[in-house]
Structure formats: structure tokens, C-alpha cells
Amino acid sequence: MRYLPLSETDRAAMLARIGVADIDGLFADVPAAKLLPEPPDLPRHKGELAVERILGAMAARNVPASSVPFFVGAGAYKHHVPASVDHLIQRSEFLTSYTPYQPEIAQGTLQYLFEFQTQVAALTGMEVANASMYDGSTGTAEAVLMAHRVTRRRKAVLSGGLHPHYAEVVRTVSGMAGDQVVTLPADVSAGEDLVGSIDSDTSCVVVQNPDVFGNLRDLRPVAEAAHAKGALLIAVFTEAVSLGLVESPGAMGADIVVGEGQSIGVSLSFGGPYVGLFATRQKYVRQMPGRLCGETVDAEGRRGFVLTLSTREQHIRRDKATSNICTNSGLCCLAFTIHMTLLGEAGLTRLARVNHANAVKLAALLAEVPGVEVLNRTFFNEFTIRLRRPAREVVEALAARGVLAGVPASRLLPGAGFEDLLIVASTEVNTDEDRAALVLGFKDVL
């Protein structure tokens, strides 16, 4: 093919230099069960018009989140994004800009990153925030690495209420570094003994609030126990809107706060790109990964912005870098900042109250359905229910009726015995008609 310029001799020389026998050797770390036994059943060659038709037909098999009653959450949430957000981020000066390698020239980019940092610090109750991370899960792994640097210890304790995908990313990164990770068993009632899991070797305790099952957590006892042992508390969130109503992690004693900002300004987009939020105490700023934008004045006294910290391997010696993640989701954090600016503090609080009220309405309705048990005592806009049938079967049955009912817990935690549990989210986009459709669907299916 004209698009593959290397000859067989070239490839053989490259493979020999790397030290593998063939191309398949490059994929030795991929589990065999994850490899396709043969190429996908797609035409090898088609014209542009035919390709559009084929891909369009494939896309039509999806059910768009906005087209049906939608109660799916578990880390990615359907919220209303004002049209002005998408209009502004699609302006060419925003949409086509990239990481400023001569940053002070790009004053507009630095200013919106500075405003973003200010908003994230205020939301989380922390003193300093960076200019975004790749997403919430990788940000959590970076927070654990940061805690290791601060405490000079190598052991992390993960709450069983931490989103399983986040926990898996932490274990993957920690495994590569040879660090120890203790993951507590998943507990729907949030009754785990986190305090008893902290010892003098513990670097950090990672707790999600609200947790993956929707439970609201009081972080103060965990923070006190961690600090008594010289460890840090890392508070994680997946639903940024909750910070408009729930007490901030900083106010409850967290040392590092990290999470997913997708709920504000960023659409579901089939799972990405999203934007990781990262904040910490001022005394730990030198160990914080990612970029930090600062405010200053120029020689003539005019307000200006600078890249205060840029601790990435592209900019300084690799062995001195605090982060090796090269993407900070700049366009997504701009969308977050625009949406937050449109809302303001009062608007975010109102939005959070509407989310909570909708979830309370839904939980009350579902509690009256035979075969449904609401398990949470407290929650924000997401909760877990127990069904009399396997949740996966119920979700499929309701999807066939045009209702997306939630996320089976067994999908996130296979083999944990949660086959009858369903995680349900209700945001401001859900109407009385949506709730009625879900309730009717449960009654019929159960």
C-alpha cells in the first residue's frame, strides 16, 4: 500500500533492534482473550459515499441519550449544556489552539486556564488547583503518586466505594511503579472500616463522595485518622454538580481533591473526551502534577498571566517531572469554565438542588414498585436499587421499551455478587414523564 512506506527489510531491521521476532510480539502484553481472532467483518475497500452509508447505518443502531428517558450515570452524567457553551468553544481561536509552548504569548489561553483553576479551587474548598488533567480516573492515579512523593511512603488504601474504573487505573499505574495498593471490598451500605485500614505505612486513603453506589460520605473521621498516621486523604468525585450542594471535600479535611468535571459543560460524547479536576493544599503545590497558571503584572503595570509551573516531562528533565500525562483537555476545561461562569454560584446551587429533588422524587416512586428496594439512606442524584431479577436482564428489557434504566452494578463489579443491583441516576434533564415511563417499565418487567 502506498500509505505504508516501509519495506519488509525495514520492518525486520526495526523488529530486530527492538528485540521481538515479529509484529505479534509487540502485543504480547495484551491478553489473548482481548485480541480479535480475525479482522472485523467490514468491507476492505469502499468509496467515500459508500463508507458514509455503512457507518451511518452502524451509528443508527445506537440510542442517543437525549432521545429516550435516560437514567444512566455511574461516572458519566447527562446534563443540559447551554447552546452558548458549544458556540463559544467552536470559535476558531479556541477550537484550533493547542498547548502554548511559548505560553506568555497566548494570554487568552492562560487567562481562561487561570479562571478555571479559580473555579475548581472554590468548588473543592482547596487552596490551589491545576490547569486540568486528562480525566478523573488518571487524575486519581496521579493523586496517589503525588501522595507517595509527599509522604515518602508507597502504600495506598482504596475505599470499596471508589469507582471500579478509577481503582483499576490506580492499580495499573501503581503496579508499574511497584507500589502497594489495598482495595477494600465493595460495600453498598458504605459501612467499610476505612479507619482500621490505615497504618504507619499508609501513604494515602482514597475515598469517593458520593461513592459509586450513590452514598454520601462524611470524610472528617477518615481525614483525622489518616492525619494521625501521617497519611493524606484523597477525596474523589465523579459528579461535579454535587459540589454545588454537598459540603466541599476541603472543608472536611481532604489533602488532595480530584475528580471528573464532565457534568459541567461537557456532553456524554460516548465516554470522552472529558476533563480531570485536581486541587490540593498550597503547601503541596510543588508536588502537584500538571500545569499551574498564575496572575501577574507586566513592566507597565498591566494585568497579565504566566505559566507558573509546568512540571511535565516535555518541559524539564524526565526524572524530575511530577507527571507524564501530556494531555490536559484544554477545550473541555474551557467548556467547563464557560458553563460555570454562566451558572455562577447561585445558579450552580439551584442546579444541584433540582438534581437532588428529581432523584428524591424518583426514589420515592421506585420504592412503591413491587420487586424494587431502594438501598441508600442518603444520596445526591444517584442511588442503588435491588431488583427481584438480575439487573442486566431488566436493563435490556427496558431498553427494548425505549427506557435506559441505569447501570447494572455487575457490569462495574463482575463476580462480586451484585447481579440484582442497579445504579440509577436522575439529573435536571429528567421530567415527570420520564420518571413515569421508568416506573411503568419496572412494573411490567418485574
- pTM reported for the whole predicted model: 0.91
Domain match, 190 and 154 both: yes
Residue 87 confidence (pLDDT) above 90: yes
Domain match, 117 and 76 both: no
Residue at 217 is within a domain: yes
**Residue type for 276, please?**
G
Confidence of residue 311 (pLDDT cuts 50, 70, 90): low
Parent domain of 135: 83-340
70: which DSSP letter? B
Q: Tell me the per-residue pLDDT of 101-147, one tens digit each, with 9 for 90 and over.
A: 777 888 989 999 999 999 999 999 999 999 999 999 999 999 999 99
Q: Tell me the per-residue pLDDT of 204-236, one tens digit each, with 9 for 90 and over.
A: 999 999 999 999 999 999 999 999 999 999 999
Domain match, 124 and 245 both: yes
What pLDDT is attached to residue 42? 81
Do the Cβ atoms of 235 and 207 come closer than 8 Å?
Answer: yes
| Chain centroid to CA 338 | 19
- The percent of residues in the chain predicted with pLDDT above 70, rounded, is 96
Q: Is 138 exposed, middle or buried (0-12, 13-18, 19+ CB in 10 A)?
A: buried
Give the residue ranges of DSSP H helices in 325-373: 330-367
What pLDDT is attached to residue 437? 98
What pLDDT is attached to residue 145? 95
Domain match, 106 and 248 both: yes
Domain match, 310 and 353 both: no
Range of lowest pLDDT (263-272, 322-331, 414-423): 322-331
Residue 148 confidence (pLDDT) above 90: yes
Please give the helix or strand (H or E) that residue 203 lies within, else none. strand 202-208
List b or e across 98-136, with b for residues whose CB sees 16 or more CB atoms inside 10 angstroms: eebeebeebeebbbbbbbbbebbbbbbbbebbbbbbbbb
Count of domains forming the chain: 2
Ramachandran angles phi, psi of 90, nearest 5° = -90, 0
* Mean pLDDT of the region 5-33: 91
The helix-helix angle for 136-151 and 164-177 (nearest 10°) equals 40
Range of lowest pLDDT (183-197, 301-315, 355-369): 301-315
Residue 313 confidence (pLDDT) above 90: no
Domain match, 106 and 234 both: yes
The helix-helix angle for 330-367 and 432-445 (nearest 10°) equals 60
d(CA 133, CA 139): 6
- The percent of residues in the chain predicted with pLDDT above 90, rounded, is 81
Longest CA pairwise span in the chain (Å): 72
287: which DSSP letter? G
Domain match, 72 and 101 both: no
Choose the final residue of a domain: 340, 364, 388. 340
d(CA 62, CA 320): 45
Domain match, 335 and 359 both: no
What pLDDT is attached to residue 40? 87
Residue at 17 is within a domain: no
What pLDDT is attached to residue 106? 86
Do the Cβ atoms of 126 and 280 come closer than 8 Å?
Answer: yes
Residue 328 confidence (pLDDT) above 70: no
What pLDDT is attached to residue 389? 96
Domain match, 308 and 371 both: no
* Mean pLDDT of the region 323-338: 82
Residue at 28 is within a domain: no
Domain match, 257 and 116 both: yes
* Mean pLDDT of the region 424-432: 97
Closest CA to 138 of 173, 108, 106: 173
Top-confidence residue, 235 or 329: 235
**Residue type for 310, please?**
S
- Average pLDDT, rounded, for the chain: 93
Confidence of residue 41 (pLDDT cuts 50, 70, 90): confident
Domain match, 168 and 191 both: yes
Residue at 14 is within a domain: no
Sole residue written with cell 487567562: 111
